[in-house]
Amino acid sequence: MRPLRIVGGRVIDPASGLDRVADVRVRDGRVVAIEPSLPAVEDELVLDAHGRVVAPGFVDLHCHLGEPGHEDRETLATGTRAAAAGGFTTVCCMGDTEPRLDCGAELAAMQSRAAATAVVRVRPIGCVTRGHDGAELAELAELAEAGAVAFSDDARPVRSSRLLRHALAYSAMLGRPVVEHAVDPDLANGGHMHEGRIATWLGLPGIPAAAEEIAVARAIALAGLTGGRLHLAHLSSAGAVAQLRTARAAGIAVTAEVTPLHLLLTHDVVATGPWGAPYDTSTKLDPPLRGEDDVSALREALIDGTIAAVATDHRPQRSVDKDCEYAYAAPGASALETAFGVLMELVAADVLSLPIALRALTCGPARVFELEAGRLDVGGTADLVVLDPQAAWTVDPASFHSRGRSTPLAGRSLRGQVLATLVGGEIVHREGI
Ligand SMILES: [Zn+2]
């Protein structure tokens, strides 16, 4: 592998607080020097980062990569190409594949497929219950042994409080969090969007914020009871944020993530869609986009660190599952390639600072799952990105590397381009540099 020198960029490492203009040298897959000015060496590749930002590669705690079993939605190859284009060098994938990632053998099989076809690091999240069906606990110790970084039945909650209690008790012993998709399924049943004025106006059955709040209260109570490690997936409501804040202050081991779309958009977009028409199924997400107060609470919690991470919940769907009536459409959006652009929109609007946005994509998530990732330091693995935080671009789903083409951001102008992504010193994405 040729040595590489990244010249003249603003090097930001939120983990250490480093923020200065410097050159970065990469050799044999590692960062070997970060200095104000580094001399040229023979046969090196040079990336000119003047006016650009050099940062740790992004870490996604939550994505759905389709393989095995749902290759018509996404594959490890296409999903990780999308991740690389979005600046992600480590992605944690959910176990709702077919077969499910619910035993050591399935995890091993998925990881060997990833070793052959993925272009970024893929870390599996094992199922909490066998078959992902909520009836019986999976072999959590075996899953941890096989490389699971966390346990989740995401796409649905763990229905039984008794099983969730046991899973949380194991999480403390195994040092791996339980990731809960917090929703009361009975209360949410039949709903297609946030319950509020827009749902009333459009005549769509709603999902009240209380459906999330009830589930968050249950999960936090069980984390307190067991001393377990709880991580709340994709929070969407102000009420849930308030509970999270109280629980953390009380010393309960609970962390949380928020998606870029829930930081940017409200349920109003269901009425307008990306193209000015209501009922556009690209706006159907799980949990749904909620109100302005919810978005404000989520932003505030991300800024003060109550919410540790931005996670994409990249959930690509087939066009046949989106090109239908709103009520029948599958929820989810393709999100890996727009996450950074959304955050830079928020930076440009003075909602977030650039270091906070980068923290939420790097060391913030890495700490939640205790991953060796999300840092940029001398001696460390060269998983890094070169970014242009200001560059404006327009979201064109047809140009996505992901198989999923549905996003409520279609046609929208965003800021912030990923110019280069390096995994272990190897360039896995390069555009405009
Ligand atoms: Zn989920």
The predicted-structure confidence for 301-347, as pLDDT tens digits, reads as follows: 999 999 999 999 999 999 999 999 999 999 999 999 999 999 999 99
d(CA 64, CA 283): 18
Cα distances from 6 to residues 22, 25, 34, 382, in angstroms, run 9, 6, 10, 12
- How many angstroms separate the alpha carbon of residue 94 from the centre of ligand 1? 9
Cα distances from 244 to residues 151, 158, 431, in angstroms, run 20, 19, 39
Q: Check whether 92 has a pLDDT greater than 90.
A: yes
Region 412-428: mean pLDDT is 97
Find the distance separating the first CA and the last CA of the chain, reported in whole Å: 19
Query: What pLDDT shows up at residue 208?
Result: 98
- How many angstroms separate the alpha carbon of residue 159 from the centre of ligand 1? 14
Q: Check whether 101 has a pLDDT greater than 90.
A: yes
Average pLDDT along the chain: 97
- How many angstroms separate the alpha carbon of residue 388 from the centre of ligand 1? 30
- State which H helix or E strand residue 240 sits in: helix 238-249
The per-residue pLDDT for range 260-309, each reduced to its tens digit, is 999 999 999 999 999 999 999 999 999 999 999 999 999 999 999 999 99
Is 23 labeled as catalytic in the residue annotation?
no
- How many angstroms separate the alpha carbon of residue 315 from the centre of ligand 1? 9
Q: Check whether 11 has a pLDDT greater than 90.
A: yes
Share of the chain above pLDDT 70, in %: 100
Tokens matching residue 342 = 């959304």
Region 145-157: mean pLDDT is 97
The string of DSSP codes covering 95-121 is S-SSS-S-SHHHHHHHHHHHHHH-SSE
Region 91-95: mean pLDDT is 98
Q: What angle do CA 361, 338, 301 make, to 5 degrees?
A: 45
Residue 10 contacts residue 20 (beta carbons within 8 Å): yes
**Nearest CA to 341 among 296, 389, 303, 385?**
389
Give 416's pLDDT tier (boundaries 50, 70, 90): very high
Residue 316 contacts residue 403 (beta carbons within 8 Å): yes
- How many angstroms separate the alpha carbon of residue 156 from the centre of ligand 1? 6
Query: What pLDDT shows up at residue 313?
Result: 98
Residue 357 contacts residue 350 (beta carbons within 8 Å): no
- How many angstroms separate the alpha carbon of residue 154 from the centre of ligand 1? 5
Q: From the candidates 13, 96, 154, 313, which is the catalytic residue? A: 313
Question: In the 3-class helix/strand/coil scheme, how is 185-221 assigned residue by residue?
Answer: HHHHCCCCEECCHHHHHHCCCEECHHHHHHHHHHHHH
- How many angstroms separate the alpha carbon of residue 234 from the centre of ligand 1? 7
- How many angstroms separate the alpha carbon of residue 63 from the centre of ligand 1? 9
Cα distances from 374 to residues 90, 201, 299, 365, in angstroms, run 9, 44, 21, 8
- How many angstroms separate the alpha carbon of residue 111 from the centre of ligand 1? 22
Give 240's pLDDT tier (boundaries 50, 70, 90): very high
Residue 406 contacts residue 397 (beta carbons within 8 Å): yes
Residue 100 contacts residue 129 (beta carbons within 8 Å): no
- State which H helix or E strand residue 414 sits in: strand 413-423
Tokens matching residue 3 = 């040595």
d(CA 202, CA 417): 35
Give 199's pLDDT tier (boundaries 50, 70, 90): very high
Give 73's pLDDT tier (boundaries 50, 70, 90): very high
**Nearest CA to 395 among 406, 386, 387?**
406
Query: What pLDDT shows up at residue 409?
Result: 98
Which residues make up the environment of ion ligand 1, defined by Cβ < 5 Å? 154, 181, 233
Amino acid at 139: E
Query: What pLDDT shows up at residue 1?
Result: 84
Largest distance between two CA atoms of the chain: 67
The string of DSSP codes covering 242-274 is HHHHHHHHTT--EEEEE-HHHHH--THHHHHTT
| 3-state secondary structure at position 401 | coil
Tokens matching residue 184 = 């009361």
d(CA 287, CA 331): 9
Phi, psi (rounded to 5 degrees) for 6 = -105, 120
DSSP one-letter code for 129? B
Residues 6+ apart with CB under 8 A from 223: 168, 229, 230, 247, 252, 253, 254
Q: Check whether 188 has a pLDDT greater than 90.
A: yes
Region 391-399: mean pLDDT is 97
Region 387-397: mean pLDDT is 97
| 3-state secondary structure at position 314 | strand
